[in-house]
Structure 1
Amino acid sequence: MPKAKLVYILSLRNAAADKAGQFIDYKGEPRYMKSPLEYLAEALDGTPLGDAYSLEGIVFDDDAQSPRDQAALADYGFAWSADRKWIFPPDLRAQGRLLREMLHPVPSAYRRLPLNAPERAAGKSAFERALLDKLLTLQADAVVLDGLLVILDELVRPGSRLYRKIVNIHPGITRLESPFQRRGAYATLDALHGAQGQKVVDWQTMAKVPTTPVLKTGASLHYVDNGIDSGEVIYDVLGTDIAPDDSILELRWNNFNRSLFPALHQGLALLAPHL
C-alpha cells in the first residue's frame, strides 16, 4: 500500500510562544519543550506511522513584513539559522530528510490589514489560493494543522480539492457535549482558569465568573471545517491533570506529552485507511 503524502502547516509564532525546541522552567527544573512537529518526525522514523505516511513538506504562514510577526519571532526568526534558536533541533530528520530543508513560507499577509478593511476578504482568499497551490505542488494527500492562527474557509468547503483531508491537532477536547470541552486559540489558558474555578467570559477584557473547578484537559485530532475547532473528531485523549498552580507553559508541557502526542499519533493511524 503506497504511503499517503503528508504536509504539515503551522504558525511559527505559535511555536515560539510555546518555547518550542527550548528548555522551559518546570516547577524549578528544566524540561525540554518538544513540539508536535518534532514528535511526529520521530514517530515517522520509529513507529509504524512511517509505513503509512511520508512527510513531504512543512508550511508556515508567518509574514516577515509584519511588525507583529517580527516581534513574536524576535528570538527565532523566520527561517532556521545557526546563530538563533529554532523550534526543533537543527539536525532533526524525518525519513532521511532534514526538516529545516523542508520549510515552505506561504505568508498570510492579509493579516496586516485592519479587520474592517474592505480588501481583507480578497486578501484572505488570495492566501488560501496560494496555500492550495503549495499543497498541490507538494502532492498532499493529507494535511495536518498545528497551531495555525488562521481560520480556513475555501480550502475546507465541501467540493474543494482537499475536503476532509485537512485535520487539526488541538490542545483541548473539542466535543461540545464534553464537560472538558475547550475550543479556540485560548484552550490551554481556558483550561487553566477552569482548574482555578473561573470561567473567562470575555477574552478582550479577561472578565471572569466563578465556576465549578475542572481539573482535567486533553487534546483532539479533528477534521477542519470553517468553524473554530468544530470539525468531526477523529480521536481525542483526556489524559492531562491540571494543578491550579501550573503555569501556562507547565500545562502545555503536560498536555503535549500526556494527551496531544497520543491524540496526534492514534488519530493519524485511524485516518490513514481513509486516504
Structure 2
Amino acid sequence: MRVAIFASGDGTNFETLVQAFNRHEIQHGKVVLLFCDHPNAPVIQRAKRLQIPYETFPLKQFASKAKYEQAILTKLQEYQVDLIALAGYMRVIGPTILNHYSKRIINLHPAYLPEFQGLHAIERAFDDHLQNGRAQTGVTLHYIDEGLDTGPIIRQKHVPIKPDDTLDELETRIHQTEHRLYPQVLNEVICQISKGEKE
C-alpha cells in the first residue's frame, strides 16, 4: 500500500507516521510522498531528514482550485499512491482528488466530532472550558467526504481538560493522543484494504 501524507505545518504527526512505518507498526505499506501546500513549512525539513520524497506548490500558482488539485492528482498518480493520510493539512479536499480517492483519504481532527468542526478546534474547546467548564475534548480519525469534518468516523478518543490546564498543556495532551491513535488506525485501515484486495 503506497501512502501519501498531506501536511501544512510543523509535521509532528507526519514524522510519527513515518517512524511507525519504519518500525513496521503499520504493516503492508510505506510512505512514498509528502505533499505540502506551503513551500517553507517545517514539515519539509522533516521529510528531507527522513528521506521521504516531497512535492510542494501553493494554490496561488494556479488559476483555480480545480487546476491546483489536478496538479496534485497528477503527482499522486506519478507516485502510484493508493491511500492519503491527512496530518495537519489545512485545506479542504475538493472533488478532483476526492472522487479519485473515495474512501481512501483519512483525516485527523483534534476534537471529538461533531464537536468543534473546522479550524482552531483545540482553542475553541479550551475557550469553552474557561467559559462553561467543559471537562473534555478529543481526537477523531475519519474518512473525508464533501463536507467539513463530516465524513464517516473510524475512531475517536476523549481527551480530558484538567481544571488548571493551560492551552499549551491541552495541546500537548491532544498531540500525544494523536501520536498514539493515528498509527493504530492507519494500520487497521491498510490491513482491511489489503485483505479486501486479496479476497
What is the TM-score when the length of structure 1 is the normalising length? 0.63
The number of residues matched between the two structures is 193
Report the equivalent of 1:60: 36
Per the alignment, in what secondary structure is the counterpart of residue 117 of structure 2? coil
Q: Is the 8 A contact 2:66 2:96 kept in 1?
A: no
- 1:53 alignment partner AA: G
Per the alignment, in what secondary structure is the counterpart of residue 171 of structure 2? helix
- 1:52 alignment partner AA: H
What is the TM-score when the length of structure 2 is the normalising length? 0.85
Q: Is the 8 A contact 1:218 1:260 kept in 2?
A: no
Identity across the alignment (%): 22
- Could you list the runs of 4 or more consecutive aligned residues of structure 1 that deviate by over 4 angstroms after TM superposition? none
Report the equivalent of 1:5: 2
Report the equivalent of 1:263: 181
Aligned mate of 1:151, from 92, 109, 119:
92
- Rg larger in 1 or in 2? 1
Per the alignment, in what secondary structure is the counterpart of residue 226 of structure 1? coil
- 2:66 alignment partner AA: S
**Structure 1 residue 248: Cα displacement:** 3.1
Distance change in 2, residues 1:129/1:191 (3 Å): same
Q: Which runs of 5+ in 2 are unaligned?
A: 195-199
Aligned mate of 1:227, from 138, 141, 147:
147
Give 1:74-153 correspondences, 5 Å limit. 76=42, 80=45, 88=46, 91=49, 93=50, 98-99=51-52, 102-109=53-60, 123-153=64-94
Q: Name which structure has the greater RCO, CA cutoff 8 Å, separation 6+.
A: 2
**Structure 1 residue 134: Cα displacement:** 1.1
Partner Cα separation in structure 2 for residue 215 and residue 11 of structure 1: 29
- 2:103 alignment partner AA: R
Partner Cα separation in structure 1 for residue 150 and residue 90 of structure 2: 15
Q: Is the 8 A contact 2:135 2:162 kept in 1?
A: yes
Q: Is the 8 A contact 2:6 2:86 kept in 1?
A: yes
* Structure with the higher fraction of residues in helix conformation: 2
**Structure 1 residue 90: Cα displacement:** 6.3
Partner Cα separation in structure 1 for residue 28 and residue 126 of structure 2: 36
**Structure 1 residue 262: Cα displacement:** 2.6
CA RMSD of the aligned region, Å?
2.4
**Structure 1 residue 53: Cα displacement:** 1.6
